[in-house]
Amino acid sequence: MRTPWGVLAGVVVGALLAGGHGAGAAPPRTVTVTLVAGLGPANGGLNFNGYARGELTLTVPRGWRVTIHYRNRSALRHSLVVTPATAAQPDAAPPTPAFPGAATRDPLGGIGPGHEETVSFVAERAGRYEFLCGVLGHAQAGMWDTLVVSPSARAPRVHPVGALEVVQ
């Protein structure tokens, strides 16, 4: 009988390489979520996964990479921008993303019905943020929810539980 030593050696080498990122500097952990714009009729369809006005909170540990698979299930165009929670809701244009890469490519124009886009950023500063739709009028009408970047959390969590599918 043949033993898969080659496979085992590959795993060991991979583990050594993964541990070899310099003096203890581990690569960022990643949390992946699927966020659906306009899921059901809540808030007139201006919602993320059926939640609006901060009803949904995603908490991630500081320093983790956050990857959001953003899908538009509604008949309107929608976008996604992560902003500081203290930012005023946008009047003419959405605010600058709180982290590099923390927005869909066209925050004002959005993505069309049935389309999807992946957003990925490193949550490098602790604090309270909003993820909102940058299409004019949508955030003002409540199309925003909450992202907390926690200096103490060890793992991502979602409130309400199950509102968002989280893959670590």
| Residue 123: CB minimum distance to Cu ion, A | 22
CB 45 within 8 A of CB 74: yes
Stretch that binds Cu ion, among 58-66, 93-101, 123-131, 137-145 (CB under 5 A): 137-145
Provide, rounded to whole angstroms, the least separation between the CB of residue 38 and Cu ion.
Answer: 7
Q: Does 56 bind Cu ion (CB under 5 A)?
A: no
Structural contact between residues 135 and 77, judged by C-beta atoms closer than 8 angstroms = yes
Nearest to Cu ion of 39, 126 (CB atom): 39
Please tell me whether residue 80 binds Cu ion under the rule CB under 5 A.
no
**DSSP for residue 154:** S
Q: Which two tokens stand for residue 35?
A: 């966020």
Token pair of 92, please?
């003419």
The verdict on 138 binding Cu ion (CB under 5 A) reads yes
Which residue from 133, 149, 163, 164 is in contact with Cu ion, where contact means CB under 5 A?
133
CB 28 within 8 A of CB 64: yes
User: Does residue 78 belong to the site contacting Cu ion (CB under 5 A)?
Assistant: yes
CA distance 26 to 32: 18
Interface ranges with Cu ion (CB under 5 A): 78, 133, 135, 138, 143
